[in-house]
Amino acid sequence: MRLKVRTIPHKHHLMIDNQKAIKQRLSVLQGLEWSGVSRAAGMLTLGFGPRHEEKNFYGVPKQVSAWALHIQCAWTLSEAGKSIATEESIATPDEQANAFIISLQQLLARRSPVIVERVSGSSECGLVISLSQAFRLIVAPDVTSDAEDWRFFESKRDAAHFIVEGARIDPLSLP
């Protein structure tokens, strides 16, 4: 008698429903305030939810939002259907990029609170965040590169990061 051995694929080899995974992971943003905007070189960093004080690596206190979205691929921020910023807005010399971020921070402060109304994902790991006051953020990963496109995480030490690289969800970032 021959035993039939059934193998179960490791969870990281299973097909991932990108739209569903993105919506599930980022659904925590729904109803939260867009509370921060910054940049690090060519990366746009957005904060959502209540802000709190945390110390950086040097022990210096800084204000951080509960949730962070770091974007390193194509993105467009629009207001009432009109584009007001793209990744090109921060792909400039530091002085210009910093001035742009300050103007975006001021816009956010004037319109506060700007609330996340809906989050959706695409099969190519794109992301759309619909916000109150007719704001909309569209993130479009680069399918031609294996570089990191965007990541989402709770702003706590050792929090798990949800990472999209090369328009694919990093399977190690799934629960």
pLDDT along the chain (175 residues), means of 10: 42 68 95 95 95 86 93 96 95 94 94 96 95 97 91 88 93 81
> Residue 37 falls within a domain, yes or no?
yes
pLDDT of 143? 86
pLDDT of 156? 81
pLDDT of 63? 87
> Residue 53 falls within a domain, yes or no?
yes
**The tokens 């040097």 sit on which residue?**
58
> Residue 114 falls within a domain, yes or no?
yes
> Residue 63 falls within a domain, yes or no?
yes
Q: What is the pTM of this model?
A: 0.87
pLDDT of 57? 79
At a CB cut-off of 8 Å and minimum separation 6, what does 53 contact? 61, 62, 63, 64
pLDDT of 16? 76
d(CA 174, CA 152): 12
**The tokens 């204000």 sit on which residue?**
63
> Residue 120 falls within a domain, yes or no?
yes
The structural domain count of the chain equals 1
> Residue 143 falls within a domain, yes or no?
yes
> Residue 47 falls within a domain, yes or no?
yes
Strands laid side by side in the 127-131 sheet: 82-86, 74-79, 135-140, 127-131, 116-121
Q: Which domain holds residue 128?
A: 15-170
pLDDT of 37? 95
> Residue 134 falls within a domain, yes or no?
yes
Cα dihedral 10, 12, 13, 18 sign: positive
CB atoms within 10 A of CB 108: 18
